[in-house]
Structure 1
Amino acid sequence: MKKLLFSVLLFPFLLQTNAQELKTKINWFNLDYEKDGVRGMSVERAYNELLKDKKATPVVVAVIDGGTDVNHEDLKDRLWTNTKEIAGNGKDDDKNGFIDDINGWDFIGGKDGTDVNHEQLEMTRILKQLKDKFGDKPSKKVIRKNKADYEFLQTLQKEFNEKRAESEQYAPFYKQVYANYVESEKILKEYLKTDKLTKSAIAGVDESQADRKVRAAKKTIEKFDELGATGADIKEAAEHYESELQYNYNLDFDARKVVGDKPNKLEYGEYGNNEVTGPEAMHGTHVAGIIGANRMNNLGIMGVCNDVRLMVVRTVPDGDERDKDVANAIHYAADNGASIINMSFGKKYSPEKKWVDDAVKYAQSKGILLIAAAGNDNLDVDVDVHYPTDTYEGGGIAENWISVGALSWKPDVDAVATFSNFGKKNVDVFAPGVDIYSTVPGSKYEEKSGTSMAAPATTGVAALLKSYFPNLTAAQIKKIILDSSVKVPDFRVKKPGSEEIVKFEELSATGGIVNAYNAVKMAMEMK
């Protein structure tokens, strides 16, 4: 699931949010701790001090995500283009199995050009299959014969009921909160005779001269402003919970009719379309910008790697991605020249993990590095598995894999993102992932938070290394990134999801923070 952290979170009755006013330096993930006072990745320092007079070779990076705005002002010049394909002729010119795949491929689209937007969670899909298998009143004989599956059904049903009940509670709450916000805005705009409200104009409302409705509207808007909540934040929360009810936790919803494939078969090259933006490209566009937004055009932001070609592989809906699509997306990226694959998604269950494992092994055979988000559930993933994972189903570990946790710009004990998953074994390293300002659809820019942002920050560093040192292998780039990460052995932080203070080095295998300056310096010193 492409999980951008919600701006609006329920805490008894208060609204707390990541407002869209910038909280820190616009480019903080690229900055240097010693020079700039924030724990960025020292990207600017690497460019200015180590790479200034060196030439780079463009490197292809696949963004497996929910789609990317290919017309964005800061991305359109950094897209991968399949030069062997003739756009719009309806033919597979390069014989790679995909018709008119100019900038990539959409594995959750139909042949008629339509696209999947919403999907069930994997839990919902598995629960539906098990319920169909056992029926309403399974016999004792059937239960005994399928004991493990029946017990799993009971566990899933309980989890499903709890999650759906939560959405049923929050959906109407946020809907009403948003209605109140909109009505308050309307009242104040009419009273002030303006189309745009400002803080000063609202503060200037003389309550002694205003009627009860205006006074109430003023208090409402000022309270939201005090908590940092915008109308967009509240609307986002309302739509999220409503979407969960209608699609994610809906046993009868079938998004796959749009695709028209056979979900239980891989069918590589037999389904999807070339429409890689999709109906909701917020997440994938933000991720792509972090990796490689144009650094030279004086627009928007500066991505980590300037010499990149972004291959868009649309795979992740609003809901849980299917293992079939993830496996085929990795396969597609490997077949079409990607050196690095970014995977900013994840889920709790992976019924067809073997398909994904096989694709990861295939990518490794092609010399490709995979970089994955650790997940946003503040869990120890050494205990609670977050898929996809580098551990193969039959045993063994993928050597071409980096798992990334999220770091905040905040100092001291608050330096680790409160939402980030962690794990001394299964999370390799941390990178900036809180309030990251990057590209969003429509040639706009916003702050977003998540390990979904930390992964592409790391991917950008990997691409930077590959672009300036093209002979480096995936294994060497991984080793450089991990070995050169900044170690802070005496650093103590809050364990994500709690107030417990722990050593930062206990949260990942390296105990380090990704650092481009150190990485480039190490690459330069290698023979």
Structure 2
Amino acid sequence: MTVSAQGSRIRLLSVSTCLALGAALLTMAAPAVAATGNSSTNDPMSAAAAAAADKALPQHKAGTLIVGYSPTATDVQKGAARVKSGAKSAKRLTAKGPNTAEVVTLAPGESVSAAIAKFKSSPGVRYAEPDYVLTKQVTSNDPYYTGGNLWGMYGDGTSPANQFGSAAGEAWAAGYTGSRSVAIGVIDEGIQFAHPDLAANMWTNPLEIAGNGIDDDANGFIDDIHGWDFINNNATVYDGNSTEGSDTHGTHVSGTIGGIGGNGSGVAGVNWAVTIVSAKFLGANGGSTSDAVRALDYLRALKVSQGLKIVATSNSWGGGGYSTALNDAINLAGDQGILFVAAAGNSSSNNDVVGSYPSNNQCTNGGTRGYDCVIAVGSITSSGALSSFSSYGATTVDIAAPGSSINSAYPVDGYASLSGTSMATPHVSGAIALCASINPSLTAGQLRAAVVNSAQSTPSLAGLIVNGGRLDIGAMVSACLPSTSPVVGDPTALAATATSTTNVSLTWSDTAANETAYDIERAPFASSVCGTFTRVATTGAGATAFTVGSLSPSTDYCFRVRASNTYLGGSSTVSSSVTVRTLDPPAPYLCTSTTYAWVDKTAGTPATLTLTDDSSTIVSLPFSASFYGTTYNSAQVSSNGYLRLGTGAATAYSNVGIPTTSDPNNFVAPWWDDLNPTAGGTIWTLVKGSAPNRQFVVTWDNVAVFSVAGSGVTMQALIDEGTGDITFQYLDALTGSTASDNGASATIGVENADGTAGTQVGFNQAVVSSGSARRCSNSSATGPTVSTGSLPVGTTGVAYSQTLTASGGTAPYTWSVATGTLAAGLSL
């Protein structure tokens, strides 16, 4: 120790989107100015390399990308980013607000992958991503089926009966058939709006005069009588041709939502009466993310400006990868009480492990909404089994519904049987509309709770669907009905336990009766007094537990639970209140340079992981590892250069700064970037050493950077058993392009479970080098024991350096003089 005194990436499950409400077209001219930001992003990429990089992307629109800007981005920064990245034009995608986005069209010959890298390295850019192609989630078993098989509407109390149907028939028998005062937005293909089983239920814009070529309602869409076609940018929501789209899929899902019943012909939907709005964004070749965003914004605007009671959108499509632009749009619609019902996917895969989008999106408004406005839907067969094609997820797929061999409306004026999670999704969308018609006073959170919490537990779905639940509209009705008698009794035995710095677990005894919901209320606690209580969440009738999130660390709160219903306009009874303090935050991680000591395969028994582009796999840890105060026994290894502890998808390729509350969170990132092991390299793990001083090592070995042909980066993350410290090591940090060399396009660091805290080593900055290492530790530092008893005399104004003899302590060291005096001539 020396002391110195010298100063101090959509399928049907597929779509693609490109919208801009009232968008101004910005045409780019290349001004004679130097590009700002990291000059390395201007490195030329050969045409062959650019083509190879773009080909490896999930299916996307060529020459187009979506760019989102930070709230503080200036027009100058945006313009510089466009010029630097080869933009030809840009259209605003979202309305003006804190998170603006635009669809960028590149100049001919510009690579999407290269442009994304350039945008990401530019000041003011929040994200840049491909405009993914999305497709419908449907499989066809018979080209045309008119046998009247509506098992999906049956229940165990209908005739004919099928206990695994949605039991919509039981609701009809009780007199609940829907209302045209309730609307569903069908974001899909177009709809044959003149179909005899749909015509009366199609929305007709009361503020537009058909065919006059004037935007009568001034919403930016001329003659949008039944909705809008975002892929062809016109008001013709039914085209029925191979060029602009057959619109078979959109018609079919609409028939399940709202095929007219009781008319003696055709099919019946979950709602015999409902209002269906067409937001067409899927055509002959699928659609795009940008058009899906435009469709959502259009429907949200209809609810806000016209008062159209849109309670949900039905989304039987998917594809590409996670999109920040789409997630923002889903949450904005959620802010207006619009639920987003989404097909889980037709890949027969586990969405808990590899996310399927958009069903894996989260619509919690950063955890403050009190519920998730996304409802992910899997598919079951008429025998109650999970459909062979259906994706699943014990924590990510909320409910299952009939999706195999579903008969519904089909152009032209016909009927057909289709299968897919596409077919399951409108059963749930329709159920939400039916519930809203039964009780118009229900909020979006209450509608979600009524549908999801009334799901019938099914053994064949256990461990595959949340609570093993399948749609049961018959049971749902009682949860939707306005109360006919007051709540009797109070919830009792309320207890609160802080489970993290931001979460509190509540439990209580369900000793109330006649409730339709339990409201969770929270108040600040100060000076031994609870402040004003406000409702922060709602859960279903009969519930006995709830976890409240998005709290502040080290903060005292009061909670109480209120059993409620809507008898005589709303009555309720409340439990006694409890107080609880959230946990103190663990010590922050300090990431500092440390001794480089590469761990090669000879240090243990390596296990090679099978990972492709934008994929992840779960690995068991050889010991319990503490990360931000929580203990974990497994981790997800992402192909994109990071580990995620706990649940949630670990496939995101578009890196962001630390900390950020958007998904993913709870990660250890030696080099989070768009990496592609399919193009080259391997990923392996091993355990080094013996207990209690083992290290778990994950190595990305010569893994290609997506947009750089022939590249490869080699780095590793080590987790220490004894200390919990995390070490990043870099054998080869040169990729072949200064745009990504030394971490110039990567995020390096650690982040906690809710994205509220983290330590950033670098974000799109060249901060590491080959042969270097960083150690991240939040262990409590202890000072060394200094045995040097005296220091020689120093001279004022002359450099002074002496070595102290010391032992023990935790690096990095700091020192101070607490008692005694300094050697003569020294001062602090």
What TM-score do you get using the length of structure 1 for normalisation?
0.60
Alpha-carbon separation, structure 2, partners of 1:505 and 1:385: 20
SS of equivalent residue, structure 1 residue 384: coil
Alpha-carbon separation, structure 2, partners of 1:394 and 1:461: 21
Equivalent pair of 1:28/1:38 in contact (CA under 8 Å): no
Is the helix fraction higher in 1 or 2?
A: 1
Alpha-carbon separation, structure 2, partners of 1:284 and 1:275: 14
SS of equivalent residue, structure 2 residue 377: strand
Is the strand fraction higher in 1 or 2?
A: 2
Question: Cα RMSD over matched residues?
Answer: 2.2
Alpha-carbon separation, structure 1, partners of 2:144 and 2:190: 22
> Which of 409, 420, 426 pairs up with 1:456?
426
Verify: 1:421 aligned to 2:421, yes or no. no
Change beyond 3 A, Cα 1:394–1:312: closer
Amino acid at match of 2:314: N
Q: State how 1:246-325 maps to structure 2 within 5 Å.
A: 272-278=233-239, 279=241, 280-325=246-291
Using the TM superposition, give the Cα deviation of residue 349 of structure 1 relative to its aligned residue in structure 2, in angstroms.
Answer: 2.3
| Superposed CA offset, 1:459-481 (max 9, x none) | 11111011121111111010111
Match of 2:609 in 1: none
| Superposed CA offset, 1:311-349 (max 9, x none) | 001112344431111111011111113221100000032
Alpha-carbon separation, structure 2, partners of 1:22 and 1:57: 27
Change beyond 3 A, Cα 1:420–1:82: same
Percent identical across equivalent pairs? 33
Q: State how 1:433-472 maps to structure 2 within 5 Å.
A: 433-472=403-442
Alpha-carbon separation, structure 1, partners of 2:450 and 2:430: 14
> Which of 40, 44, 59 pairs up with 2:182?
59
Match of 1:373 in 2: 343
Amino acid at match of 1:343: N
Match of 1:387 in 2: 357
Change beyond 3 A, Cα 1:473–1:390: farther
Using the TM superposition, give the Cα deviation of residue 21 of structure 1 relative to its aligned residue in structure 2, in angstroms.
Answer: 5.4
| Superposed CA offset, 1:374-406 (max 9, x none) | 111101011121111453599946721111000
Using the TM superposition, give the Cα deviation of residue 19 of structure 1 relative to its aligned residue in structure 2, in angstroms.
Answer: 6.9
Alpha-carbon separation, structure 1, partners of 2:258 and 2:180: 14
Using the TM superposition, give the Cα deviation of residue 298 of structure 1 relative to its aligned residue in structure 2, in angstroms.
Answer: 1.8
Using the TM superposition, give the Cα deviation of residue 56 of structure 1 relative to its aligned residue in structure 2, in angstroms.
Answer: 4.2
Match of 1:70 in 2: 193
Alpha-carbon separation, structure 2, partners of 1:393 and 1:306: 29
> Which of 29, 40, 46 pairs up with 2:165?
40
Alpha-carbon separation, structure 2, partners of 1:394 and 1:56: 28
Alpha-carbon separation, structure 2, partners of 1:442 and 1:50: 31
Equivalent pair of 1:307/1:467 in contact (CA under 8 Å): no
Using the TM superposition, give the Cα deviation of residue 42 of structure 1 relative to its aligned residue in structure 2, in angstroms.
Answer: 1.0
Equivalent pair of 2:145/2:407 in contact (CA under 8 Å): no
Verify: 1:509 aligned to 2:466, yes or no. yes
Runs of 4+ in 1 over 2 A off after TM superposition: 3-7, 17-23, 49-52, 55-58, 317-321, 389-398
Alpha-carbon separation, structure 1, partners of 2:208 and 2:360: 33
Amino acid at match of 1:295: G
| Superposed CA offset, 1:243-288 (max 9, x none) | xxxxxxxxxxxxxxxxxxxxxxxxxxxxx11010133111000000
> Which of 317, 327, 331 pairs up with 1:357?
327
* Greater relative contact order (CA < 8 Å, ≥ 6 in sequence): 1
Match of 2:219 in 1: 96
Using the TM superposition, give the Cα deviation of residue 522 of structure 1 relative to its aligned residue in structure 2, in angstroms.
Answer: 1.5
| Superposed CA offset, 1:334-370 (max 9, x none) | 11132211000000324xx121112111111111111
Alpha-carbon separation, structure 1, partners of 2:346 and 2:282: 16
Match of 2:305 in 1: none
Equivalent pair of 1:59/1:339 in contact (CA under 8 Å): yes
Match of 1:238 in 2: none
SS of equivalent residue, structure 1 residue 33: coil
SS of equivalent residue, structure 1 residue 507: coil
Q: State how 1:24-423 maps to structure 2 within 5 Å.
A: 26-33=149-156, 35=158, 36-49=161-174, 51=176, 56=179, 58-109=181-232, 272-278=233-239, 279=241, 280-336=246-302, 337=308, 338-350=310-322, 353-392=323-362, 396=366, 399-410=372-383, 415-423=385-393
Change beyond 3 A, Cα 1:389–1:299: same
Alpha-carbon separation, structure 1, partners of 2:399 and 2:391: 11
SS of equivalent residue, structure 1 residue 438: strand
Equivalent pair of 1:57/1:307 in contact (CA under 8 Å): yes
Amino acid at match of 2:250: G
Equivalent pair of 1:31/1:43 in contact (CA under 8 Å): yes
Amino acid at match of 2:409: T
Equivalent pair of 2:364/2:373 in contact (CA under 8 Å): no
Q: How many residues align?
A: 335
Alpha-carbon separation, structure 1, partners of 2:407 and 2:149: 6
Alpha-carbon separation, structure 1, partners of 2:299 and 2:438: 21
Equivalent pair of 1:107/1:315 in contact (CA under 8 Å): yes
| Superposed CA offset, 1:191-213 (max 9, x none) | xxxxxxxxxxxxxxxxxxxxxxx
Please list every run of 5 or more consecutive structure 2 residues that lacks an aligned counterpart in the other structure: 1-10, 13-135, 303-307, 484-515, 517-564, 566-828
Using the TM superposition, give the Cα deviation of residue 107 of structure 1 relative to its aligned residue in structure 2, in angstroms.
Answer: 0.5
Alpha-carbon separation, structure 2, partners of 1:33 and 1:95: 49
Match of 1:204 in 2: none
Amino acid at match of 2:473: A
Equivalent pair of 2:139/2:420 in contact (CA under 8 Å): no
Amino acid at match of 1:349: G
Alpha-carbon separation, structure 1, partners of 2:218 and 2:144: 45
Amino acid at match of 2:236: E
